[in-house]
Amino acid sequence: MPSNNLDYINSVKYEDWLDKLKQLEEIHDDLTNRANASRKLRYSEVDVEVERGAGRLDADELFIPCHVINTNISREQSPYIQYITQSPRAVICEDELDPTIDLALLEKDLTKKLRPDGWQTDAYSNIDSFQCHGYSVMETVYDKTTPGHVRREHVPLEDFAFFSDAKDLQSLEIVSRRYYYNRTKLLGLCGDPDKPSVTDFSREQVESIINQEPTSDKYTDDTGVKDNTLYRVYKKMFRVNGVVMVAWAKTDVCDDWLSTPHPLFVGRREVDQQPGVLGTIKSKLTGVPPTKDGTETQYPYFLYPYTISEDPTISNLKGRVFLDQDIQEAITSCTSSLVTKLRRSAGLYFSRDENDPNGSILMDKNISFRTGAIFNSKVTEMKLDAPDPMLFQAVQGLLQGNVNETTQVNFAVTNRKDSRKTAKEMEVGQQQSQQLTTVQVVLYSIANKEQYVYEVGIIRSRVQAGLITVNQQVRPLYDREIAIKPSGDTDVIEKQQLVQLFMQSWPVMQNTPIANAFFVDMVKLMFPLQAANYVNILQQAAQAQASGQAQQQAQAQQQLTGLVKQLGEEIVKLSQHPEMFSDVGRIHAFPIVENYATELKKLGEQQAMAQQKQGQK
Q: Residues 571-597: pLDDT tens digits?
A: 777 777 777 777 777 777 778 777 877
CA distances 320 to 33, 63, 402, Å, are: 17, 23, 11
| Average pLDDT across the chain, whole number | 81
DSSP per-residue codes, 433-478: HHS--HHHHHHHHHHHHHHHHHHHHHHHHHHHTTSS---TTTGGGG
- Average pLDDT on 109-137 reads 95
- Average pLDDT on 376-398 reads 75
- In whole angstroms, what is the distance from residue 153 CA to residue 136 CA? 11
Q: Residues 210-234: pLDDT tens digits?
A: 999 887 655 444 444 567 889 999 9
Quote the pLDDT of residue 315: 92
| CA-based nearest residue to 197, from 188, 205, 206 | 188
- Residues 489-512, buried b or exposed e (16+ Cβ, 10 A)? bebbbebbeeeeebeeeeeebeee
Q: Between the ranges 48-62, 175-189, 205-219, 602-616, where is the mean pLDDT highest?
A: 175-189
Q: Say which range, 239-248, 296-305, 577-586, has the weakest mean pLDDT.
A: 577-586
Q: Which residue has the higher pLDDT, 380 or 223?
A: 380
Quote the pLDDT of residue 330: 86
Q: Say which range, 47-51, 209-213, 444-448, has the weakest mean pLDDT.
A: 47-51
- Residues 335-371, buried b or exposed e (16+ Cβ, 10 A)? bbbbbbbeebeeeeeeeeeeeeeeeeeeeeeeeeeee
Q: How confident is the model at residue 411 (pLDDT cuts 50, 70, 90)?
A: very low
- In whole angstroms, what is the distance from residue 541 CA to residue 519 CA? 14
- Indicate whether 492 pLDDT > 90: no
The answer to whether the beta carbons of residues 42 and 132 sit under 8 Å apart is yes
The alpha carbon of residue 480 and the mean position of all alpha carbons in its chain are separated, in whole angstroms, by 31
Q: For 34, left (φ over 0), alpha (ψ -120 to 50), or beta? A: alpha
- In whole angstroms, what is the distance from residue 28 CA to residue 250 CA? 12
19 phi and psi angles, rounded to 5 deg: -60, -45
Q: Which residue has the higher pLDDT, 460 or 272?
A: 460
- In whole angstroms, what is the distance from residue 156 CA to residue 122 CA? 10
581 phi and psi angles, rounded to 5 deg: -100, 150
- Average pLDDT on 280-303 reads 83
Q: Beta partners for 483?
A: 94
Q: Residues 446-479: pLDDT tens digits?
A: 899 999 999 999 999 999 999 999 999 999 999 9
Quote the pLDDT of residue 359: 59
- Average pLDDT on 397-404 reads 69
Element (H, E) at 293: strand 291-293
Q: How confident is the model at residue 519 (pLDDT cuts 50, 70, 90)?
A: confident
% pLDDT > 70, the chain: 82
Q: Residues 139-151: pLDDT tens digits?
A: 999 999 999 999 9
The answer to whether the beta carbons of residues 99 and 79 sit under 8 Å apart is no
Q: Which residue has the higher pLDDT, 613 or 414?
A: 613
Q: Residues 158-187: pLDDT tens digits?
A: 999 999 999 999 999 999 999 999 999 999
Q: How confident is the model at residue 525 (pLDDT cuts 50, 70, 90)?
A: low
| CA-based nearest residue to 489, from 455, 445, 430 | 445
Quote the pLDDT of residue 287: 67
- In whole angstroms, what is the distance from residue 212 CA to residue 183 CA? 11
Q: How confident is the model at residue 616 (pLDDT cuts 50, 70, 90)?
A: low
Q: Which residue has the higher pLDDT, 105 or 391?
A: 105
- In whole angstroms, what is the distance from residue 282 CA to residue 275 CA? 10
Q: Which residue has the higher pLDDT, 369 or 124?
A: 124
Quote the pLDDT of residue 337: 82
Q: Between the ranges 37-51, 108-122, 489-503, where is the mean pLDDT highest?
A: 108-122
Q: Between the ranges 45-54, 278-287, 323-332, where is the mean pLDDT highest?
A: 323-332
| CA-based nearest residue to 470, from 88, 117, 106, 144 | 106
- In whole angstroms, what is the distance from residue 531 CA to residue 540 CA? 14
Q: What is the DSSP letter of 169?
A: G
Quote the pLDDT of residue 436: 43
The sign of the torsion formed by the CA atoms of 462, 466, 471, 476 equals positive
